[in-house]
Structure 1
Amino acid sequence: MFDDSDPRKSLSRKPDQSASEAFSGPFCGPEVGHFSQTDPQERGDGWRAWMMRSTNLVVRLVALDGVAEFARHGQRDEYVVFSSDPDLRFSVKTEAGEVVDHPGNHLFIIPPGDSRVRISGKGSVTFLFTTRSADLVARCSNPEVPINPVIPPFQQWPDPVGGYRLRVYDLDVPDTPGRFGRIFRCTTMMVNVLPRFTKPRDTAKVSPHYHASFEQISLTLDGDFEHFLRWPWTPNMSDWREDMHLRCASPSMAVLPPPAIHTTLWVSEETQIVDIFSPPRMDFSLKDDWVLNAADYPRAQTSIE
């Protein structure tokens, strides 16, 4: 259920059907990481990193004041690195492309194989990998998560146009009426870097909705947020779950599970949130001009929902 001002109201929908009619339990709860209140999983000279997983993704959030370098050897699939901090500098070396002393406020898609990412400055950087990287899963604060029966097995999307290579995308993209956020996808995931909000959300214009078969990772980078979740009632009362109200300072991460109805409030003046999906969302991909790098990454031919 979206407010009339929300571009997602235009998404194609299946015939009306309540969540309680469509699903049976038991249901999974959310995974939540309060990074600002917990010790990091990794640290080095001038940097700290929190690592947490969902069903298909590993998130590494790096808080940097200095220089940090991260390498992957024999990486099986693409991964994503991004930061909205323009003063950071990136040098990225891969087997299929390289950038040196590149400014922040960009999103980098790193090809499979060997790669090295060097970052300098002060700010935060997010790395996103699939859970195929078992060594990274083992370092997460939650290396094991419950199996959600409504999430299908991971399916990678088609190879990029022209083959795998280092790709770099500017996050300085102006808002366009009717387009939702700043969405980029690759073969393994979709990232929506939402615009900065400069005042708390209007509580008369929230967006309670649910996803049938995929998780939403909400990564909060600045400001305070509140997530609200409600699960369907089914004929079996033992499957019922209490409503949840999650208060999250930044940085934090919440994995919102299907088929929970959810919506989010930003409750401070300056906020930044990023929504992440793995594999990419089909409904967003079907919208003309929503995926900013769609020309580089063909969409799957059939819905994976």
Structure 2
Amino acid sequence: MSTPARAASGGWHYKEEALTDIDPGARAWIARGANFVTVVSDAPAGTTLTRTDNPDEYMIVTDKVGATVSAGGETLEVAPDSLTIVPPGKSIVTLAGDGEIIRVFSSRAADLAGRATNAEAYADRPVDVAPLDPWPEPVGGYRLRTYALADHVREGTNMRVFRSTNLMLNVMTPRETPRDTSKLTPHSHADFEQGSLAIGGVYIHHLRYPWTPDMATWRADEHVEMASPSVLVIPPTVIHTSRNIGDQPGRLIDVFAPPRMDFSLRGVVANGDEYPMPAG
């Protein structure tokens, strides 16, 4: 490898000033990668989060607060602890209670990407990230789709993976105790970023940057401690693994764009029958 890996970036939302002009009545925190944007909003019941003409699909993760979602001529009542895929175009999300709601967009939502706390890291598109090429349209066309996360717990794994045409989220089951440090999973990705979105507990993200022939470019290992909510965006080729610490359950969502082919081929995608893979 001749080119040094980029440094990780992200949003320490729990200690950042909130944006109050994204949606009236809501406080918002935004972070981005090359191909995705995460928006954490905290608002009272009845607040509406509106997209007037979103260019592609986006995902909503509800935690303790449900919502009413309208888009594409449909309206759905979305329960707490759910994942919802919203079709392109206009959409309105109305919170059913006081609390946080998470939305994940592709970087085609340029107005949101430009407000990210780490937007400066993406002033120029990174050359190490594959393009955001959409996957085939869903079976039956674009429409609202919602999934109760509790219905997708599988024995032997904490993964709950969902994909759309442009995004993939792994909404992991909570870790009730600190992760066993003898069973970590250090790995790297060749040409896509990973967004690690913490929505509960405290995490340490361990990062090891690959060496290049030029020792002057070498970067020391990092052990980045982040409370919730927060997002760490890990560049390609950087070896990484994360562990929760402390007495609060660790709750993490991994974000990818476009969908990961390796996860799709392994058959771990909960809604894979609704979203075809590319031909070949």
Q: 1:284 aligns with which of 263, 271, 274?
A: 263
Q: 2:74 aligns with which of 89, 93, 97?
A: 97
Would the alpha carbon gap of residues 144 and 45 (structure 1) be closer, same or farther in structure 2, given more than 3 Å must change?
closer
Cα deviations by residue, 1:179-201 (Å, 9 ceiling, x for unpaired): 55111100010011101111001
Residue 138 of structure 1 deviates from its aligned partner by 2.2
> Where in structure 1 are there 5+ consecutive unaligned residues?
1-22
Q: Report the TM-score, using the length of structure 2 for normalisation.
A: 0.93
Q: 1:256 aligns with which of 234, 249, 257?
A: 234
Partner of 1:27: 5
1:71 aligns with 2:47: no
Could you tell me how far apart the structure 2 residues matched to 1:189 and 1:45 are? Answer: 26
Partner of 1:112: 88
* 1:180-199 alignment runs, 5 A limit: 181-199=159-177
1:136 aligns with 2:136: no
Q: Is the 8 A contact 1:107 1:170 kept in 2?
A: yes
* 1:1-305 alignment runs, 5 A limit: 23-42=1-20, 47-85=26-64, 88-100=65-77, 102-146=78-122, 147-173=125-151, 175-179=153-157, 181-269=159-247, 270-288=249-267, 290-301=268-279
Residue 46 of structure 1 deviates from its aligned partner by 5.8
Cα deviations by residue, 1:109-151 (Å, 9 ceiling, x for unpaired): 1101111111121332111111112211222223332443221
Of the structure 1 ranges 258-267 and 134-143, higher mean CA displacement relative to structure 2 is found in 134-143
**Corresponding residue SS for 1:128:** strand
Residue 174 of structure 1 deviates from its aligned partner by 5.1
Q: Report the TM-score, using the length of structure 1 for normalisation.
A: 0.85
Could you tell me how far apart the structure 2 residues matched to 1:301 and 1:177 are? Answer: 31
Partner of 1:20: none
Runs of 4+ residues deviating >6 angstroms: none
Could you tell me how far apart the structure 1 residues matched to 2:5 and 2:191 are? Answer: 12
Residue 30 of structure 1 deviates from its aligned partner by 0.6
Q: Alignment identity in percent?
A: 38
**Corresponding residue SS for 1:192:** strand
Could you tell me how far apart the structure 1 residues matched to 2:196 and 2:177 are? Answer: 19
**Corresponding residue SS for 2:216:** helix
**Corresponding residue SS for 1:144:** helix
Residue 45 of structure 1 deviates from its aligned partner by 7.0
Could you tell me how far apart the structure 2 residues matched to 1:148 and 1:239 are? Answer: 18
Q: Is the 8 A contact 1:173 1:182 kept in 2?
A: no
Compute the RMSD of aligned alpha carbons.
1.7
Cα deviations by residue, 1:55-95 (Å, 9 ceiling, x for unpaired): 1111110123333211112221111111122xx23111112
Could you tell me how far apart the structure 1 residues matched to 2:239 and 2:111 are? Answer: 33
Could you tell me how far apart the structure 2 residues matched to 1:42 and 1:281 are? Answer: 33
**Corresponding residue SS for 2:263:** helix
**Corresponding residue SS for 1:118:** strand
